[in-house]
A and B are shown apart, each in its own frame.
Chain A
Amino acid sequence: MIPTPGQTVGPFFGYALPFDDDNRLVPLGAPGAVRLGGRVLDGDGDPVPDAVLELWQTDPEGRVVQQPGSLLREGYGFTGWGRTSTDREGRWSFTTVRPGSSFFAITVLARGLLHRLFTRAYLPDAADDAFLLALPADRRSTLLTTEGEGGYVFDVRLQGDGETVFLTFPRG
């Protein structure tokens, strides 16, 4: 069957997609809590203040979590999924735990972006990952988080210098 086309998330998702503690996969200050955050920038290097990022990751042991509760967080347990919106400076962040696998899977949505984008934010010590090594050398670093700001920093550049590597999958 032919997939239904995507369309932009538009500018008016603000009262629909965000929810309480959407970007807190674990509570602030929980044991092992780290920050994953950065900015979303456009082709001029200007912040994108109306983007949505979704995070999907394994637990610290590398297991894929299949537990409900992301939309109504109870302060314990871990669902592996979260959502956040950029602020006026294009900044976003999640409070989460270091995944046992080598990367965070990320979906990017924005006004002006006609279809969702997929990418991976690799942990700083995953630079020898086979997928990264297969990329052109000058693009590899766009998928690597750096250490800082209490965790991992990952900027999404939609276009231009340092444009983030976005992914497609065989059946995409």
Chain B
Amino acid sequence: MTALTQAEVSDEIAALADSYAADGVVETQPRLDYAPYRSSLLRHPTKAPVQADPEELEVWAPVFGERDVDPLEADLTIQHAGEPIGERMVVTGRVLDGDGRPVRRQLVEVWQANAGGRYVHQRDQHPAPLDPNFTGMGRCLTDADGWYRFTTIKPGPYPWRNHRNAWRPAHIHFSLFGTEFTQRLITQMYFPGDPLFGLDPIYQSILDPAARERLVATYDHDLTVPEWSTGYRWDIVLTGTHRTPLEDEVES
């Protein structure tokens, strides 16, 4: 099978965007069945999900605590003897539930490529250098107001095999929990103005332009630390809860 070109994939992306715009029905989540992302072809359910009334178990989430997460894990630049190469930055924001309440003391996990676009992963074949001072994974717990904060370096874009000359926009993978099992979210955070946005089937699988932009962090000069690091702000909204969260879970 000959690899598709970017132009062919871009045509598919454009056709799906056009039909989405013509339909006029807003979709705020990615389509699971999104053919330009080739790996989704055999991995998307074809049947509609069944709506379930959450049972008691599902209106609670696992609890993580100080024992689970060392505060140092929020700084991805201090995990080795030396400093990683790249643009040091702070990424911070709030985790909120669908009703705007902060999600308190809950686990946030991140992972990312290094400044050259290379992951510390056996399957990453990109011939960019590994950085002996950067692993690219971090964790933290949100604070009492739902804030998370990581110090890291800006990841590079990287090539992948979806089609010929496919490149992912720079991104950080995020894993989030709410106060309920039903709120689990895995996503990716992007950087403003990335020239690869229009070419990327994973980003474009979210057909609604306003929804896609919810994954793009904002450069915030107030978060930039003089002579030290740039700063980005990115807030995350989970789905709404079915149970009214307890006082110590959220605070309004």
Which residues in A have some Cβ–Cβ distance to B below 8 Å? Answer: 1-17, 42-44, 46, 48, 54, 56-58, 64-72, 79-81, 101, 103, 105, 107, 109-118, 120, 131, 135, 139, 158-160, 163-172
Contact = CB atoms under 8 A, between A and B. Distances in A.
B152 to A, nearest CB: 13
A114 B31 contact: yes
Size class of the contact patch on chain B: 35 or more
A71 B252 CA distance: 29
Given A2-B237, A67-B63, A115 B184 contact: no
Interface of B: 28-32, 34, 37, 39-47, 49-58, 60-69, 96, 98-100, 107, 109-111, 113, 119-124, 135-137, 139, 173, 175, 181-182, 184-188, 202-203, 205-206, 211-212, 214-215, 236-242
B127 to A, nearest CB: 16
A170 B212 contact: no
A5 B173 contact: no
B208 to A, nearest CB: 8
A2 B211 contact: yes
Nearest to B26: A2
Contacts of B242: 169-171
Q: Which 6 A-B pairs have the closest CB atoms?
A: A68-B65, A112-B39, A16-B111, A81-B62, A171-B240, A112-B43
Given A3-B28, A43-B42, A114-B37, 11 more contacts: A3-B237, A10-B173, A64-B57, A72-B68, A107-B181, A114-B40, A159-B44, A160-B46, A167-B51, A169-B52, A169-B239
A170 B53 contact: yes
19 contacts: A1-B98, A3-B239, A4-B214, A4-B237, A12-B111, A16-B173, A48-B43, A64-B57, A67-B63, A69-B65, A111-B39, A113-B32, A114-B44, A115-B30, A116-B185, A116-B186, A120-B52, A170-B51, A172-B239
